[in-house]
């Protein structure tokens, strides 16, 4: 292992020379980097690549639903087995290979050291290992498409016996590859999470107290802790499932003394906190964006923090709301109904705090700000429909319909897509040193947001009309094959195609701005947090001239005693 990686210059060091500095080869810099920013870029672009694949899967199975049996352009005829693997892997990839790597790993890696004024993560080699394990896991999940029997088709929640019996899920080795890939991905994020938590706890700039930490850093750290404490049972469950699939054990087989509900408990004990694992970083990103563009202090910094912690604690007590019709005791269902409705209180409080932050601010509608506002608005719809489903009586009717599907897309889409775009467009100048094109950015924003609502609002209607999830061809069910329903399905699919097409604008904008955008300078948004005091893009070690000290909180905008409407954290009073 290369021991002479050039790190360790700055204020904490006696000599400011270039000691240990040597020219890094291409492989050292881009393939096996130790620099947190480069690892963040690896995560970011791997996540985006996986998002394209997950989006393509959605296109294929939506085409099958809208126009059953047609030859889908770019794919061909969708067989039932292929349909099952496509929906399964769409869900798995979008959550574990898009939302997690981009929101936690990419933004966490990029932002934590820069925002707390450190030169790198505390364990750069573990950081590199984390990405490498993640990359292997991505190869494993995609590789499953090329083995006999194709990729796993037992739904992303992998309920047994569907997931453990090949005759039910119609896939062979693909099932084991799926659970192995998920397992490896979790290991990668445990490695990354230890780095995030330890770095934020120990490596803050001198003077940065608890309440001076930018909200997005707090949120990524809380999310990492949630992940770390919730994923263990599912790792154990994953081992049991691999044994059930391959060794013939019967952990989840009721005929031979096992219990299929056990898997649902292990899965959702992780699965529900996981929602908040990806939500919190997005909420943090939005906090940083809206304060900058409304030139106001975050209304109730500690309120946001405490509600996030409260959400985290509560998130461990809600998991059985996924099992209201799985045969759990109705008295138990009442308990989980109450906890589920309770958890909407801290989340609602967060949204109110954000609205209060916006109130009376001098708002500039830049592209990142539009994304952040859209996050608040769209996530609200996801949250409110969640209350419908959290009530066990109502959920018995709604369970496994497109109402559920539309609900969680209204939560995950704002988190994983809207939140990511808000963060990416906000920190793009820092990452690449160039400004993005605002016109193209806004065009991309409006096309994406309008079509997103065009896809999922109609699906609420279909779900309420009884349309079930995970059905290959609705024409086989007369009550679901009515012409008005098919019209809605086609409308949603057309919206999806437009939305996927609109992403070309984004990629064009990224490449064009990267190549020939106007230089951004250090602090184009006139923001307070420390990353804006480093060069754009920051060099290896972030602040070669010496690491910053911190004198105040991150959101001192429009302070009455100052001429400037912002007050960088590192400026002495």
Q: Are strands 71-72 and 76-77 parallel, antiparallel or unpaired?
A: antiparallel
Where does residue 547 fall: left (phi above 0), alpha (psi -120 to 50 degrees), or beta otherwise?
A: beta
Closest CB to another protein among residues 229, 384: 229
Give 67 or 243: the residue with its C-beta nearer to another protein. 243
Q: Which residue lies nearer to another protein by CB, 232 or 300?
A: 232
If you ran DSSP here, which 8-state letter would residue 16 be given? -
- Residue 251 Cβ vs another protein, minimum distance, rounded to whole Å: 6
Q: Least distance in Å: CB of 21 to another protein? A: 10
Collapsing DSSP to helix, strand or coil, 254 comes out as helix
Q: Name the minimum Å distance from CB 220 to another protein.
A: 14
The least distance separating another protein from the CB of residue 338, rounded to whole angstroms, comes to 23
Q: Which residues contact 214 (CB under 8 A, 6 or more apart)?
A: 111, 115, 284, 288, 529, 554
Task: State the nearest-atom distance from the C-beta of 265 to another protein, in Å.
Answer: 8
Q: How far apart are CA 266 and CA 323, in angstroms?
A: 12
400 Cβ neighbours under 8 A, 6+ residues apart: 468, 469, 470
Q: How far is it, in rounded angstroms, from Cα 428 to Cα 510?
A: 9
Using CB under 8 A, list all residues that contact another protein: 3-8, 10, 12-13, 20, 113, 118-124, 190, 193-195, 197-199, 201-204, 208, 228-237, 239-240, 243, 247-251, 256-259, 262, 266, 269, 541, 547
Instruction: Give the N- to C-terminal CA distance of the chain in Å, as an integer.
Output: 44
| Residue 237 or 382 having the CB closest to another protein | 237
- Nearest to another protein of 261, 457 (CB atom): 261
Q: Do residues 463 and 398 lie in contact, with contact meaning Cβ atoms separated by under 8 Å?
A: yes
- Least distance (Å) from another protein to the CB of residue 177? 20
Nearer to another protein, 93 or 121 (CB): 121
CB half-sphere exposure, 403, CA atoms < 13 A: 21
Residue 469 · residue 400 · CB < 8 Å: yes
Cα dihedral 159→164→169→172 (10° resolution): 140
With b for 16 or more beta-carbon neighbours within 10 A and e for fewer, the 531-565 pattern comes to bbbbebebebbbbbeebbbbbbbbbbbeeeeeeee
Maximum pairwise Cα distance, the chain: 78
For another protein, the closer of residues 236 and 519 by Cβ is 236
How many Å apart are CA 331 and CA 165, to the nearest integer?
A: 32
Measured from the CB atom, the residue of 54 and 124 that comes closer to another protein is 124
% helix / strand / coil in the chain, to the nearest 5?
Answer: 70, 0, 30
Residue 245 C-beta: closest distance to another protein, Å: 13
**Residues constituting the chain:** 573
Q: How far is the CB of 322 from another protein (least distance, A)?
A: 17
Shortest Cβ distance from residue 387 to another protein (Å)? 29
Give the residue with the Cβ less far from another protein, 242 or 447. Answer: 242
Hunting for tokens 């994020």 — which residue is that? 189
In sequence order, which residues have a C-beta less than 8 Å from that of residue 218 and are 6 or more positions away? Answer: 200, 284, 305, 308
- CB closer to another protein out of 70 and 236: 236
Q: Shortest distance, CB of residue 354 to another protein, whole angstroms?
A: 28
Which H helix or E strand runs over 420?
helix 420-432
Q: Which residue has 């809206």 as its token pair?
A: 290
Nearer to another protein, 38 or 231 (CB): 231
Nearer to another protein, 198 or 503 (CB): 198
Residue 303's alpha-carbon distances to 115, 170, 216, 292, 358, in angstroms, are: 21, 49, 14, 19, 16
User: Do residues 362 and 295 lie in contact, with contact meaning Cβ atoms separated by under 8 Å?
Assistant: yes
Residue 196 vs 410, nearer CB to another protein:
196
Q: DSSP per residue over 447-489, as a string? A: HHHHHHHHHHHHHHHHHHTTPBSS-S-GGGSGGG--HHHHHHH
Q: How far is the CB of 122 from another protein (least distance, A)?
A: 5
Here the tokens at position 554 are 């991150």
The least CB distance from residue 69 to another protein, in Å, is 42
Taking the complex as a whole, how short is the minimal distance between the CB of residue 144 and another protein, in angstroms? 24
Q: Which of 365, 353, 357, 352 is nearest to 293 (CA)?
A: 365
**Is the CB of 240 or the CB of 370 nearer to another protein?**
240
Least distance from C-beta 20 to another protein, angstroms? 5
């Amino acid at each position: 292992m290369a021991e002479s990686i050039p790190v360790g210059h700055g204020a904490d060091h006696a000599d400011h020379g270039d000691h240990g500095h040597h020219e890094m080869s291409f492989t050292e810099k881009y393939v096996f980097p130790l620099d947190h920013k480069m690892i963040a870029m690896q995560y970011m672009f791997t996540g985006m690549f996986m998002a394209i694949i997950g989006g393509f899967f959605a296109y294929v199975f939506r085409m099958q639903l809208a126009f059953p049996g047609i030859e889908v352009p770019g794919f061909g005829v969708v067989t039932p087995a292929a349909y099952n693997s496509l929906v399964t892997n769409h869900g798995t990839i979008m959550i574990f290979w898009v939302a997690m790597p981009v929101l936690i790993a990419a933004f966490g890696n990029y932002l934590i050291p820069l925002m707390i004024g450190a030169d790198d993560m505390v364990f750069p080699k573990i950081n590199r290992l984390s990405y490498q394990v993640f990359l292997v896991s991505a190869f494993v999940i995609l590789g499953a498409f090329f083995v006999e029997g194709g990729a796993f088709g037992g739904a992303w929640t992998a309920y047994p016996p569907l997931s453990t019996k090949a005759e039910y899920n119609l896939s062979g080795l693909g099932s084991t590859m799926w659970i192995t890939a998920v397992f490896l991905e979790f290991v990668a994020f445990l490695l990354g999470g230890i780095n995030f938590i330890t770095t934020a706890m120990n490596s803050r700039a001198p003077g940065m107290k608890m309440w001076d930490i930018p909200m997005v850093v707090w949120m990524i750290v809380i999310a990492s802790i949630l992940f770390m404490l919730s994923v263990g049972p599912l790792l154990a469950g994953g081992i049991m499932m691999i044994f059930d699939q391959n060794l013939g054990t019967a952990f989840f087989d009721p005929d031979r003394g096992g219990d299929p509900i056990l898997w649902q408990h292990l899965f959702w004990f992780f699965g529900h906190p996981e929602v908040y694992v990806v939500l919190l970083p997005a909420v943090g990103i939005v906090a940083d964006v809206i304060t900058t563009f409304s030139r106001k202090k975050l209304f109730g910094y500690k309120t946001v923090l405490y509600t996030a912690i409260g959400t985290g604690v509560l998130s461990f007590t809600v998991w059985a709301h996924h099992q209201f019709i799985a045969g759990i005791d109705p008295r138990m269902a009442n308990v989980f109904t109450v906890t589920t409705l309770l958890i909407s209180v801290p989340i609602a409080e967060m949204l109110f705090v954000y609205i209060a932050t916006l109130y009376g601010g001098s708002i500039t509608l830049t592209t990142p700000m539009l994304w952040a506002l859209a996050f608040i608005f769209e996530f609200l719809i996801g949250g409110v429909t969640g209350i419908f489903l959290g009530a066990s009586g109502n959920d018995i009717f709604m369970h496994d319909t497109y109402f559920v599907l539309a609900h969680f897309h209204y939560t995950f889409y704002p988190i994983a897509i809207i939140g990511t775009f808000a963060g990416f467009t906000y920190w793009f100048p820092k990452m690449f040193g160039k400004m993005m094109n605002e016109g193209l950015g806004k065009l991309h924003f409006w096309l994406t947001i309008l079509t997103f609502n065009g896809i999922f609002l109609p699906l609420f209607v279909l779900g309420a009309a009884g349309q079930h999830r995970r059905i290959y061809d609705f024409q086989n069910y007369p009550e679901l094959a009515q012409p008005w329903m098919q019209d809605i399905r086609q409308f949603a699919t057309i919206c999806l195609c437009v939305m996927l097409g609109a992403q070309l604008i984004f990629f064009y904008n990224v490449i064009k701005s990267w190549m020939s955008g106007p230089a951004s300078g250090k602090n184009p948004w006139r923001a307070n947090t420390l990353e804006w005091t480093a060069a754009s893009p920051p060099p290896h070690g972030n602040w070669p001239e010496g690491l910053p000290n911190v004198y105040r909180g991150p959101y001192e905008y429009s302070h009455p005693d100052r001429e400037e409407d912002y007050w960088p954290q590192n400026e002495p009073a």
